[in-house]
Structure 1
Amino acid sequence: MVASASLLYLAALAGILGVVGFFVLRGVLRLWAQEKVIRELQPRLSKGKGSPQEHYELGSVYLQKGLYEQAIVQLKKALEVAGENIPPVCNALGFAYFSQGQYDLAIRYYKDAVAADPAYVTAWNNLGHAYEKKNLYGPGLEAYETVLNLDPQNAIAKRRAESLRKRLQPSSRG
C-alpha cells in the first residue's frame, strides 16, 4: 500500500517535471530563434540597406523582446526602404508606440495600416483599443464596429464594442 502510494507520488512528480521541462525547453528554443535572427540580421542591416522584410523581421523580434525603441527604428526603416505603407509593418509600429503609452503615434500607424488594407481586422481592433486608452469612445466604437462588419464573430470586438456602447449611453439618473 505504501509502495503504491510512493509510486503514484513519483509518477505525478515526474509528470509535473515533464510538463515544466517542456515549457522551459519551448521558451529556450524561442529565445534561441530570436537571438539567431538578431545575430544574422543586425550586422547585415547595419552595413547596408536590407529588404523591407528583413527590417520587419528584425523589428518583430525586438517587439517580442520588449525592445520598443530598437523595433521602431527597424520598422520605420522597413517602410522607408519599401517606399509605401505595408499594413503589418504599420500595425507593428502602432503596437510599439502603444506599448510605450504613446497613443497618438499608435493611432497614426494603426490608421496607416487600415488605410493600406481596409480589411485588416487586427489593426482595426488595435485602433479601437488605442482610442479607448485616449478615452475617445466614439471613434473606438466605430473601429470595433468595423471589425464586426468584417468579422462578425470577433470576440474581442464584440466585448469591447458592448463595453463602449454602455459608456456612451446617456445616464439614466435624473
Structure 2
Amino acid sequence: MKEQLPVIYISFLLVLLAGTAVFLFQQVFRTRRLENQLEKLQKKLKGGDGTSKDYYELGSIYLKKKLYVQAAQVLQKGLKSASKEEIEPENLALIYNALGFSYLSREQYDLAIRNYKEALKLNPEYAIANNNLANVYEKKTMDAKALETYKQTLQYAPENNIAKRRIEALQKRFATPE
C-alpha cells in the first residue's frame, strides 16, 4: 500500500490539473465568443444598419461585462430604433428591463423603477421585470411595495423561487416578535 501512495497522489494531481485545464479552456472560449459577438455588433451598428435586436444584444453583452453606462447608452439607442420598427411589445419589454438593470446596477433606482414599470406596461406577465422591480423597492427600503410586487410575480409565475424566497424574507421582517 505504501508503494501505491505516490501513484495515487500523482493520479489525483493529474485529474485535478486536467479539470482545471478544461475549466480554463471553457472560460477562454466563452470569453472569445463574447468578444467576437461584441466586435461584430459594434461594426454593424457603427455602419448604421442595426436593428433594435442588435442594440439589445450589444447592450446585453455590455451588461455581462459590467459596462453599465455603455449598456444604458446602447439600449436607449435600441429604444429609439424600435420606435421606427414594428416590434412586438414583449421584445420591447426586454429592452426596458435590461435598461432598468443597467440603472439598478448604478444605483439609479428611480430610473430603474421607471424602466421596469414600462416593461411591465408592455408585458404585465414578465416575471423577471416584476422581480427586478421588487428588488429595487427593497433597495429603496420600500418593503411593503416590494412584498406586493413579489406577490404579483407569483400570480403570473407561481413556481418563481426568487419571489417565494423574498416574500418569505420580507414577511419575517414584518412579523412582530411576541
Query: By how many angstroms is 1:146 displaced?
Result: 0.9
- Higher mean alpha-carbon deviation, 23-32 vs 131-140, is at 23-32
Query: By how many angstroms is 1:140 displaced?
Result: 0.6
Query: By how many angstroms is 1:49 displaced?
Result: 4.4
Between the aligned partners of 2:76 and 2:46, the Cα distance in structure 1 is 14
User: Which secondary structure state, in structure 1, belongs to the residue aligned with residue 125 of structure 2?
Assistant: coil
Between the aligned partners of 1:172 and 1:15, the Cα distance in structure 2 is 52
Counterpart for residue 132 of structure 1 = 138
Query: By how many angstroms is 1:9 displaced?
Result: 1.1
Query: By how many angstroms is 1:172 displaced?
Result: 4.7
Unmatched 5+ stretches in structure 2:
none
Alpha-carbon RMSD: 1.6
User: Which secondary structure state, in structure 2, belongs to the residue aligned with residue 10 of structure 1?
Assistant: helix
Equivalent pairs counted in the alignment come to 172
Counterpart for residue 163 of structure 2 = 157
Structure 1: which amino acid aligns with 2:55?
Answer: H
Between the aligned partners of 1:18 and 1:102, the Cα distance in structure 2 is 44
Q: 1:111 aligns with which of 117, 140, 148?
A: 117
1:162-173 matched pairs, under 5 angstroms: 162-169=168-175, 171-172=176-177
Counterpart for residue 80 of structure 1 = 80
Identity across matched positions, percent:
41
Between the aligned partners of 1:26 and 1:63, the Cα distance in structure 2 is 20
Between the aligned partners of 1:18 and 1:99, the Cα distance in structure 2 is 36
**TM-score between the two structures when normalised by the length of structure 1:** 0.91
